[in-house]
Amino acid sequence: MTDMPDAERHREKMRRRKEVQDREVAAKAVEKGLLAVHTGPGKGKSTAAFGMALRTVAHGGRVVVIQFIKGAWNTGERIALEKFGDLVEWHALGEGFTWNTQDRARDIAACERAWEQARAALRREDVALVILDELNIALRYDYLPLEEVIADIAARPPMQHVIVTGRNARPAMIAAADLVTEMGLVKHHFKDGVKAQAGIEF
């Protein structure tokens, strides 16, 4: 290998790497609905979920979005995804962040209404993807019973995918998930006095 020209050495390295990769891919045979959790202090948890929604509708799948905590913001993602007509259902059922309402009973009631919508979506065979946006926040503050939520998610149709977003995912939710991504915060423009902007935050 050391006597090979750089281009040939690189080609041989990539050939061997491809063999390993091909064997690994060929060994995967399971197909099932996944529970994905997007958590962590960094930006992009919901954005990543909506990117997966685009993939789903591109393949003709139906998506249901349930937003906990967040109010009925006119976000770019909602505007874009609703252009897909009846392939996307969007339910923004929060009343704003907890520091806005300052009313625990009201927050719990809003989350319970949202969970009823979520439970209905989780029972539907025609729904390919359910996004439970900011559900982790509702669970962190004990606005919903964690065990019941996880049981309802587990009882969904076998091929239905679910994405749960929000900071501070509870350990039981992480344990139940098939895929967990933690968004890390390295730097954020908000700290430098930059306000939320269309196309970036909403």
Judgement on whether residues 21 and 48 belong to the same structural domain of the protein = no
In a domain, 198, yes or no: no
Judgement on whether residues 89 and 115 belong to the same structural domain of the protein = yes
Question: What does the alpha-carbon distance between residue 75 and residue 201 come to, in Å, rounded to a whole number?
Answer: 8
Residue 121 domain boundaries: 31-192
Record the pTM.
Answer: 0.88
Judgement on whether residues 5 and 89 belong to the same structural domain of the protein = no
Question: What does the alpha-carbon distance between residue 87 and residue 47 come to, in Å, rounded to a whole number?
Answer: 19
Length of the chain: 202
pLDDT at 128: 98
Judgement on whether residues 77 and 64 belong to the same structural domain of the protein = yes
Nearest to 54 by CA among 88, 21, 22, 6: 88
Judgement on whether residues 186 and 133 belong to the same structural domain of the protein = yes
Question: What does the alpha-carbon distance between residue 184 and residue 125 come to, in Å, rounded to a whole number?
Answer: 34
pLDDT at 101: 60
- Tokens, residue 86: 């009846």
Number of structural domains in the chain: 2
Condensed to tens digits (0 to 9), the pLDDT of residues 13-66 reads 999 999 999 898 899 888 999 999 999 999 999 999 999 999 999 999 999 999
Judgement on whether residues 124 and 178 belong to the same structural domain of the protein = yes
Judgement on whether residues 119 and 78 belong to the same structural domain of the protein = yes
Judgement on whether residues 168 and 102 belong to the same structural domain of the protein = yes
Residue 45 CA: distances (Å) to CA of 38, 59, 182, 183: 5, 22, 8, 7
pLDDT per residue, tens digit, the chain (202 aa), is 555 678 898 999 999 999 999 898 899 888 999 999 999 999 999 999 999 999 999 999 999 999 998 666 678 889 999 999 999 999 987 765 555 566 888 889 999 999 999 999 999 999 999 999 999 999 999 999 999 999 999 999 999 999 999 999 999 999 999 999 999 999 999 888 999 888 888 8
pLDDT at 85: 95
User: DSSP per residue over 90-136, as a string?
Assistant: EEE---S-HHHH--HHHHHHHHHHHHHHHHHHHT-TT-SEEEEETHH
Judgement on whether residues 44 and 90 belong to the same structural domain of the protein = yes
For residue 47, the domain's CATH number is 3.40.50.300
3-state DSSP percent of the chain in helix, strand and coil, to 5: 45, 15, 40
Q: Are strands 161-165 and 88-92 parallel, antiparallel or unpaired?
A: unpaired
In a domain, 197, yes or no: no
Judgement on whether residues 65 and 2 belong to the same structural domain of the protein = no
